[in-house]
């Protein structure tokens, strides 16, 4: 079985889409662990409801966090780490040991980087009067949202969009894109 570890800092809607795809048989994978830096993240509840082990990061210092996570993941089956609304920079130990992907709610390289997440992105896109926003799935490196792009999906920005309207359409596209990309990655790994 292909083993995913999902990192999430918030509500966990993207995590839920992975859980649902697995339960429905649309994704031939297992989530070995859900990791969060936020003990109040609803993603942890979603994991617990599906009997998925969880881990809350204890350290707040980046180098110590990197070592802590490397130690935890050494005891876990990991084929791929998926960042799904995870708001911390990934450290060198993890980057050197694992393939890590991130889903971002914009067409990178625009609207990426530190502080550009969630509604911050959608507000910036609307304020700039962009014609399109979208979703970028990319490999993770040592800089926020700068790793090589795997795939992007465009989402039209409508004239009267609020950030919430745009967010809903982007999140919908994000979940479809992520599951389809994971299917391809899992199939490629089996070859």
Active-site annotation, residues: 104
In order of 82, 100, 113, 187, the CA distances from 139 in angstroms are 9, 6, 14, 18
Decide: 43 and 36 in contact? Cβ < 8 Å: yes
- Between CA 139 and CA 149 the distance in angstroms is 6
In order of 60, 86, 98, 150, 170, the CA distances from 37 in angstroms are 8, 8, 19, 25, 24
CA–centroid distance for 152 within its chain:
14
Decide: 35 and 62 in contact? Cβ < 8 Å: no
């Amino acid at each position: 079985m292909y083993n995913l570890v999902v990192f999430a800092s918030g509500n966990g809607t993207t995590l839920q889409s992975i859980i649902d795809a697995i339960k429905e048989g649309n994704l031939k994978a297992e989530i070995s662990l859900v990791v969060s830096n936020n003990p109040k993240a609803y993603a942890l509840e979603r994991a617990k409801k599906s009997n998925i082990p969880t881990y809350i990061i204890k350290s707040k210092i980046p180098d110590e966090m990197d070592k802590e996570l490397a130690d935890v993941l050494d005891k876990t089956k990991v084929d791929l780490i998926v960042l799904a609304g995870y708001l911390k920079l990934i450290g060198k130990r993890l980057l050197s040991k694992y393939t890590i992907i991130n889903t971002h709610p914009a067409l990178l390289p625009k609207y990426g980087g530190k502080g550009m997440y969630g509604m911050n992105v959608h507000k910036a896109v609307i304020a700039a009067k962009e014609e399109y926003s979208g979703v970028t799935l990319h490999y993770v490196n040592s800089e926020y949202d700068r790793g090589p792009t795997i795939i992007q999906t465009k989402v039209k920005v409508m004239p009267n969009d609020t950030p919430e309207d745009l967010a809903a359409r982007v999140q919908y596209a994000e979940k479809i894109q992520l599951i389809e990309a994971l299917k391809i990655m899992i199939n490629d790994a089996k070859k």
